[in-house]
Structure 1
Amino acid sequence: MLRTTGSAIALLSGRRSLAVVNYHRVLAGPDPLLESEPDLADFRWQMTLLAKCFNVMPLYDALRALDAGSLPPRTVCITFDDGYRSVHDLALPILRELKLPATVFVTSGYVSGDAGNMWNDRIIHAVQSLPSGPLDLSDLGLECYALTSMEERRRTAARLTEAGKYMPPNARALLVQRLDELSGMENDALMLTPAMLLALDASGVEIGAHTISHPILTSLDDESARFEITAGKAQLESLIGKPVRLFAYPNGKAGKDFTARHVDMVRQAGFFAAFTTAVGAITGDQDRFQLPRSRPWDRVPFRFGLRLLSWMALGNKQPR
């Protein structure tokens, strides 16, 4: 039914559209503080559904086919952000088994054995590890948070992560350092190593750029933002020995996380295309450097597939 409906959408609309799904981590098992991330079982049925009901293409190839008017109906591309090692350890075996291509947008500054984890993961780790009771961060300009129940921990992690996104880098570093000290526990390494990055590339997974340190670009001056974009690309190219053609804006909300200035920087850096986190499908009339890409949140296979078809039907006019 999904295949028939998707083909009918392409025929009746008279145009082709491309849905790009986006992930970050794949979890070994469910985690109440990471409810938006699929565990291994959910990721497997999602990939199986894509393999059976959609035409899954490499992202760069799909964009070229869209330009040429030769994009197959029901085309979907698979992407991951940030560069978590679970893409290598957990996702890659499933992608290989099902012969599915993918793109990983890598935050280059974390691809090393001693780079540590991203700040948001350190927040989550601390909230998971701290004992029950209040978490008073009022001296950092924040609030006193509750950690008594799992639901309170989930809310606290979400609120601290959202607050941290838009803090100045120095203030965010102080917050993360405080939480590290309070939790008193080592963080398990979460990010790709250079060897894992090379293994992904050797397996046909395209490596895209996602800046050096994953800042909100609007929080930086122009010189710093340009460096994050261009040097992140150069670092990855040095590691894999080939051009990095695709870019994803950190956090990805147009007008809030990046502006037209940053779009120009990405274009001038020599990328082929760049991606936001807007909902909807890619159509041929869109700005190549502000292409939508999102995640179907549905946990039931038919609704998951139907969500993708709705994106294809509505293009970038998907209701928010």
Structure 2
Amino acid sequence: MLPELRSGRLLLLLPLSGSPAPVLEALVLCYHAVSDDWPSPLAVTQTQLARHLRLLQRRGYKFVTFSELVNCVSRGAHEGKARIAAVTFDDGYRSNLTRALPVLRGVGAPATVFVVTSFAGDGSPLRWEGISQWLGTTYERELEPLSPDDLRELVAAGWEIGSHTATHPRLSRLDDAAVREELCASKQWLEEILGVACRSLAYPYGDWNERVAAIAGQAGYEAAALLSSHLSAPQQLAWPRIGIYRADSAWRFALKANPAVVRLRSTDVWRYLRAARAISPAATPPSDSEVRRR
């Protein structure tokens, strides 16, 4: 095994520019909460977020919403133009408004937040497998969801609001009727309170299959986001994203967003290297499910 590969140094030597395949010109990042204090792996600090976005700006990326990116790439309209990136937030933490929005405004970037609508509707703390352990602690306040008024404020700021289902289940484990209810109820609720079409969806836990994607299409979604260590070939209803977490320092983020690394993560070589542990934990991002178990 090459020491350079084991340490991640070899990956850092991969080119930052050049002429990658068209899909590599479009990055979709997945964040969750923003907090300087909350020690959850899902929460990045404002400083981290700002550094990440400034790095992408220096690399020539233009920021767009998730649906805009999917539409642009699907039509092939981005080829030969500046790179584009979409910043997305899963779950609907209120910190997306209070802490993320000022950072995004500072770099002139919109974002997309995928909301679990049952919590946005009643205001109760977000709770499901992976975050419920924070209930009853001093960090429970971090689980405060975005309210309808908060969502309207984000729309006014140029953000896209997408669905993260009604209750955050693992959709592949549900029957067709239950999947349809999760997707349709959340979409309808968002459209009623915001007065705009809800076009996008993020699958909770990154859990999906072709059956779920087909139901999403039938429900009227035009784009749906995944979250996995392996970046599969993009499809409108199965679009890969790069998960960004608290452990992602500036150099780790630079590595994750390196076009050559993104390209590597879309190949079977990446699966082999992860399975063989040929890439160190510092050089390879965990899957969303791995992070939520921590």
Name the TM-score class by shorter chain: 0.7 to 0.9
TM-score, normalization by structure 1 = 0.70
**Deviation (angstroms), 1:282:** 7.3
Aligned to 2:43, the other structure's residue is in SS state: coil
Which of 142, 146, 153 is the equivalent residue of 1:192? 146
* Percent identity over paired residues: 30
Question: Which residue identity is paired with 2:235?
Answer: D
Distance 1:315 1:186, change over 3 A: closer
CA distance in 2, matches of 1:261, 1:73: 35
Aligned length: 252
Aligned to 2:99, the other structure's residue is in SS state: helix
**Contact residue 25 and residue 38 of structure 1 kept, 8 A:** yes
**Contact residue 33 and residue 42 of structure 2 kept, 8 A:** no
TM-score, normalization by structure 2 = 0.76
Distance 1:113 1:91, change over 3 A: same
Corresponding residue for residue 265 of structure 1: 215
Question: Which residue identity is paired with 2:18?
Answer: A
Distance 1:14 1:106, change over 3 A: closer
Matched, 1:293 2:241: yes
Question: Which residue identity is paired with 1:213?
Answer: T
**Deviation (angstroms), 1:217:** 1.2
Aligned to 1:78, the other structure's residue is in SS state: strand
CA distance in 2, matches of 1:15, 1:225: 29
CA distance in 1, matches of 2:120, 2:264: 37
Deviations 1:260-283, CA, capped at 9 Å, x for gaps: 221111010111111111236676
Aligned to 2:30, the other structure's residue is in SS state: strand
**Deviation (angstroms), 1:124:** 1.9
Corresponding residue for residue 78 of structure 1: 87
**Contact residue 277 and residue 293 of structure 1 kept, 8 A:** yes
Aligned to 1:201, the other structure's residue is in SS state: helix
Corresponding residue for residue 226 of structure 1: 180
Corresponding residue for residue 52 of structure 1: 58
Deviations 1:51-101, CA, capped at 9 Å, x for gaps: 322412222222222123231353221100011100000000110111012
Distance 1:282 1:99, change over 3 A: farther
**Deviation (angstroms), 1:16:** 5.1
**Contact residue 17 and residue 315 of structure 1 kept, 8 A:** no
**Contact residue 31 and residue 42 of structure 2 kept, 8 A:** no
Aligned to 1:204, the other structure's residue is in SS state: coil
Which of 9, 32, 39 is the equivalent residue of 1:24? 32
Which structure 1 residue ranges, 5 or more long, are not aligned?
A: 130-184
Structure with the bigger percentage of helix: 1
**Contact residue 217 and residue 225 of structure 1 kept, 8 A:** yes
**Contact residue 19 and residue 281 of structure 1 kept, 8 A:** no
CA distance in 1, matches of 2:23, 2:118: 40
Aligned to 1:111, the other structure's residue is in SS state: helix
